C-alpha cells in the first residue's frame, strides 16, 4: 500500500457493455463483465484514474492495519507504521471524494479508533450523515479497555444526498418461541411489515464459517453492502469499491441493478470476484432462457 505514485493519464475507449469511467488506464489487469469491471491493482492508483464526479456510491472496507494475512504479501503488508497507514488511507479518501457525483454517498467501514481519525479528512469536502454501529458477535477481551463491541460504518455525502432511503427490516424474533424480542406494546400492528432501519445494526453476524466464505481472511456479510445500496444506491448508478476483497459489494451492486468498479490488488481475490459475477450473469441468462421455453 505504500506505493502511491499516480500513473500517466491515458484515456480508455468506451466499451459496448460498460460506460467508460476512466480518465487514466488502470495499471493492472482489467476484467470486464456485464455492468462492471474488476481491476487487479493498487487501490489509490486505480481510484486516481477515474473521472471526476462519476460514482454514485463509494464503499470502502480497507484492511485495518492489524497484521492480518490477506494474500500473497502476507501479514507484513497489513502492518504499516501508523503514519504510513494513515497517509495512504487519507489519500484514498481524498480521491474517493473527488470521484463522487454531487449528492453521492461515501461509506467507510472501520474500527472506531481509525474511523474517528478519518473523519477529519472526510469532513473537508463531505457532509456527515451517520455513524452506524455494527455489533460484533464475540466476547473476546482485547487490550486493557472495555470489550470492543462494534465496527463503525461512516456515511457521508457530497452535499445534499441525491438518494437517501429509509429501509425497513423484519422485527427481531426469538428463535425458540418466535415472539418479538422487543416489546412494541400497542404498536405491534405497525411493525408487522418491518421496522425502520436505525443507526445501530445488531442483527448481523460476521462470515466465519468456511462453508460461506470465499477466502481464508475475513469477509463482510452481504447484508452490509446490501443495506448501503438500499439507503444510497440507484438503479443504473455506479458503485466503486477500492478494497473489494472477494467482491461482496460488487455482487450487491449487480443484484441492485447498478454498475460497479471492484478493485483489489490480490489476483486470487480478483479471480473470485470474476467467478461470482460470472455466476450471476449465468443465472440471469438461464432464467431468461427458461422464460422463453
**Which pLDDT tens digit goes with each residue over 121-154?**
999 999 999 999 998 766 566 677 788 889 999 9
Q: Within this chain, do residues 56 and 119 fall inside the same structural domain, yes or no?
A: yes
- Residue 272 is assigned to a structural domain of this protein: yes
| The three grid cell numbers given for residue 137, joined into one nine-digit string | 458477535
Mean pLDDT of the chain: 84
Q: Within this chain, do residues 159 and 239 fall inside the same structural domain, yes or no?
A: yes
* Confidence category of residue 14, pLDDT binned at 50, 70, 90: very low
Q: Within this chain, do residues 155 and 171 fall inside the same structural domain, yes or no?
A: no
- Residue 263 is assigned to a structural domain of this protein: yes
* Confidence category of residue 11, pLDDT binned at 50, 70, 90: very low
Specify the range with the lowest mean pLDDT, choosing from 6-10, 22-26, 263-267, 279-283: 6-10
- Residue 112 is assigned to a structural domain of this protein: yes
Q: Within this chain, do residues 39 and 181 fall inside the same structural domain, yes or no?
A: no
Q: Within this chain, do residues 34 and 173 fall inside the same structural domain, yes or no?
A: no
> 163-214: per-residue pLDDT in tens?
999 999 888 888 888 778 777 776 677 787 888 999 999 888 665 555 555 5
Q: Within this chain, do residues 224 and 283 fall inside the same structural domain, yes or no?
A: yes
Is residue 5's pLDDT more than 50? Answer: no
Tell me the CB-side half-sphere exposure of residue 202, using CA atoms within 13 A: 8
Burial of 286 (0-12, 13-18, 19+ CB in 10 A): exposed
Residue 142 is predicted with a pLDDT of 66
Pairing of strands 150-157, 100-110: antiparallel
- Are 264 and 273 within 8 A, CB to CB? yes
- Residue 62 is assigned to a structural domain of this protein: yes
Q: Is 236 left (phi over 0), alpha (psi -120 to 50) or beta?
A: left
* Confidence category of residue 273, pLDDT binned at 50, 70, 90: very high
CA distance between the termini of the chain: 51
Which of 149, 179, 198 is the C-terminal boundary of a domain? 198
pTM: 0.85
Q: Within this chain, do residues 47 and 63 fall inside the same structural domain, yes or no?
A: yes
Q: Within this chain, do residues 156 and 173 fall inside the same structural domain, yes or no?
A: no
**Rounded (5°) CA angle 36-38-42:** 135
Give the total number of structural domains in the chain. Answer: 2
Q: Which own/partner pairs from 44-47 qualify as long-range (CB within 8 Å, at least 24 positions apart)?
A: 44/1, 44/4, 44/88, 44/91, 44/92, 44/95, 44/242, 45/3, 45/4, 45/5, 45/6, 45/7, 46/242, 46/261, 46/263, 47/92, 47/95, 47/96, 47/99, 47/240, 47/242, 47/263
Residue 75 is predicted with a pLDDT of 67
Domain range spanning residue 186? 166-198
Q: CA 46 to CA 226: how far, in whole Å?
A: 24
- Residue 65 is assigned to a structural domain of this protein: yes
Is residue 74's pLDDT more than 70? Answer: no
Amino acid at each position: 500500500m505504500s506505493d502511491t505514485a499516480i500513473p500517466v493519464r491515458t484515456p480508455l475507449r468506451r466499451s459496448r457493455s460498460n460506460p467508460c469511467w476512466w480518465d487514466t488506464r488502470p495499471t493492472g489487469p482489467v476484467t470486464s463483465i456485464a455492468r462492471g469491471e474488476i481491476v487487479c491493482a493498487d487501490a489509490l492508483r486505480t481510484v486516481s484514474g477515474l473521472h471526476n464526479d462519476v460514482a454514485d456510491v463509494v464503499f470502502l472496507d480497507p484492511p485495518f492495519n492489524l497484521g492480518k494475512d490477506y494474500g500473497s504479501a502476507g501479514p507484513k503488508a497489513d502492518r504499516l507504521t501508523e503514519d504510513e497507514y494513515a497517509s495512504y488511507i487519507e489519500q484514498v479518501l481524498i480521491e474517493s471524494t473527488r470521484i463522487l457525483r454531487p449528492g453521492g454517498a461515501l461509506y467507510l467501514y472501520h474500527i472506531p479508533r481509525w474511523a474517528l481519525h478519518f473523519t477529519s479528512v472526510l469532513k473537508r469536502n463531505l457532509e456527515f450523515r451517520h455513524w452506524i454501529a455494527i455489533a460484533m458477535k464475540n466476547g473476546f477481551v482485547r487490550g486493557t479497555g472495555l470489550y470492543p463491541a462494534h465496527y463503525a460504518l461512516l456515511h457521508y455525502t457530497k452535499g445534499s444526498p441525491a438518494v437517501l432511503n429509509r429501509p425497513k427490516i423484519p422485527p427481531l424474533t426469538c428463535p425458540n418461541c418466535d415472539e418479538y424480542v422487543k416489546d412494541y406494546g400497542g404498536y405491534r400492528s405497525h411493525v408487522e411489515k418491518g421496522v425502520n432501519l436505525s443507526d445501530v445494526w445488531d442483527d448481523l453476524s460476521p462470515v466465519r464459517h468456511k462453508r460461506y466464505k470465499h477466502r481464508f481472511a475475513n469477509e463482510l456479510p452481504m447484508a452490509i453492502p446490501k443495506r448501503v445500496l438500499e439507503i444510497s444506491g440507484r438503479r443504473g448508478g455506479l458503485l466503486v469499491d477500492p478494497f473489494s476483497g472477494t467482491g461482496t459489494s460488487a455482487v450487491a451492486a449487480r443484484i441492485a441493478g447498478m454498475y460497479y468498479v471492484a478493485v483489489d490488488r490480490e489476483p486470487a481475490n480478483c479471480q473470485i470476484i470474476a467467478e461470482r459475477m460470472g455466476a450471476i450473469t449465468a443465472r440471469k441468462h438461464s432464467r431468461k432462457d427458461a422464460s422463453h421455453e
